[in-house]
Structure formats: C-alpha cells, structure tokens
C-alpha cells in the first residue's frame, strides 16, 4: 500500500497568511493526487485533482503542485472560510489512500 | 444538481448488522463508480472500496472483505453498504462518494460526497 504523510498535522495561521501544506507519498504516484477540504460535521470537498488542476468552483487562492512523491497545497491568502482540515489522496494504485490530515486553525 | 443523500444515523449492538443507503440524483447513476469511505471519531479518512455501477462488481480494500458488502438498486439510483457482525471499532461516519470518471471503469478521486451516516456500535 502507498502511505501518504502530511505535514504539519496542525497549522495556526491568520487571515491573509500564505499557507502551505505538504503531502509525501511512500513511492512515486506521478501526478495522481487529489486534495480535499473538510469542515467539522461535513463531508470532504474536492479542491484539486491531478496534483494541480483546480476543481470547478474552487477559489483561485487554492493551488497544488508537485509530482512523484512530494506535493504541496497552497492557499495564497487565507480567508475565514478556509479554516478546516485538509486531506491529500493518491489514486495511482489500489487501495486508494489518504494522508492523515492537516488542521488549519486560527492563530 | 448532483446529490447523494444517505440514510440516517444508526445505533447497533455488537454482532448486529446495518445497511446504509446512498440515493443519487441529478446525474445518470449507471456510469459513475460509487465509493465508500469511513471516518472514525476524530480520525482521518479510510477507503473501503468501490462498486462498478455498470456491472455491479464490487472491489473491496484489504480489511474490508467478508463483513462488508456493496450493492446497488439501479432502478432507484441507490447504492448500499451492509456491514455484518458489527464491532465497536466499526463506529464511524460512513460516506458514499462518486468517482469523477464517467465510465465506472475504476476508482480515482471523488467529486461528490454524501452527507455521511454515523454508525455507532455499542452494547
């Protein structure tokens, strides 16, 4: 199984900050990576697919980059609605696996 | 608009069974693979597997064979997850999630999710 490791597990930031979350795969997954945002009590929401493609309707302040084993999700200017937990997910091979999550908290 | 509406919360005793439903609307149900993902309290996301809505063929992740069964009723655009011989460690929110790919040939990433069904297993 491919292990996905996210860092940090928790991040404290202020509105307007630039935020970067890292996701590392235990082996190469090319660009087969998605990012999701989850708010408490809600289902995850797709943000990014194929490492850097923005899902329709997602604000352009979200961006993804990387390939192989190292990926990043960047929020260019953190907004109040962005405080949530973010997960990466690989779809290079079965079983599909998720990172452990990064909680973005208000500083 | 695409919607996946799941059945309500369940409280079950250890050893019992539960069946969670996921009713799809706003798109052609047969054609998009349906996945099941669970989230234990305070924990991350775990993929259980997927079902091909064209053929009804399920694929289970390791650790989810035997007690977990995926099924469909295409006449009512509904996917089901049945869990038997429930254990306390099955306590989680279970989500159905639609695969993005419009041919149900594989499972990749998920563009629409149900609202989740909390299954609590307690004596």
pLDDT digits (tens, 9 = 90+) for B20-40: 999 999 999 998 999 999 999
The DSSP H or E segment spanning A64 is strand A62-67
What residues of chain A have any CB closer than 8 angstroms to a CB in chain B? 1, 32, 34, 36, 42-46, 49, 55, 87, 89, 91, 94-101
Selected residues 15-74 of chain B with any CB under 8 Å from a CB in chain A = 35, 44-47, 49, 59, 61-62
**pLDDT score at B103:** 79
In the predicted model, what is the mean pLDDT of residues B57-62?
A: 96
The SS3 call for residue B66 is: coil
Contact B47 A44 (CB under 8 A): no
**pLDDT score at B1:** 96
Contact B45 A44 (CB under 8 A): yes
Q: Give A33's strand partners.
A: A90
Quote the distance between the C-alpha of residue A13 and its chain's center: 16
B74-112 residue pLDDT tens = 999 999 999 999 999 999 999 999 999 887 788 899 999
A29-45 residue pLDDT tens = 999 999 999 999 999 99
3-state helix, strand and coil shares in percent for chain B, rounded to the nearest 5: 5, 50, 45
Q: Choose among A46, A97, A100: nearest Cβ to B47.
A: A97
> Among residues of chain A, what percentage have pLDDT more than 90?
98
**pLDDT score at B76:** 97
């Amino acid at each position: 199984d491919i292990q996905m490791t996210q860092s940090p597990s928790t991040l404290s930031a202020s509105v307007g900050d630039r935020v970067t979350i890292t996701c590392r795969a235990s082996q190469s997954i090319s660009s087969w990576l998605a990012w999701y945002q989850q708010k408490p009590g809600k289902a995850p929401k797709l943000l990014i697919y194929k490492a850097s493609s923005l899902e329709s309707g997602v604000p352009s302040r979200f961006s993804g980059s990387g390939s192989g084993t190292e990926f990043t999700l960047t929020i260019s200017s953190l907004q109040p609605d962005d405080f949530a937990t973010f997960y990466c997910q690989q779809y290079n091979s079965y079983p599909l696996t998720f990172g452990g999550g990064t909680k973005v908290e208000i500083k | 608009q695409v919607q996946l509406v799941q059945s309500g919360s369940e409280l079950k005793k250890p050893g019992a069974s539960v069946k969670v439903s996921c009713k799809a609307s706003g798109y052609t149900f047969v054609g998009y693979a349906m996945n099941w993902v669970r989230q234990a309290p305070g924990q991350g996301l775990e993929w259980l597997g997927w079902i091909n809505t064209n053929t009804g063929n399920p694929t289970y992740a390791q650790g989810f064979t035997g007690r977990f069964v995926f099924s469909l009723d295409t006449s009512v655009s509904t996917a089901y997850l049945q869990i038997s011989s429930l254990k306390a460690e099955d306590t989680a929110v279970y989500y159905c999630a639609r695969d993005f790919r419009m041919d149900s040939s594989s499972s990749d990433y998920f563009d629409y999710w149900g609202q989740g069904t909390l299954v609590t297993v307690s004596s």
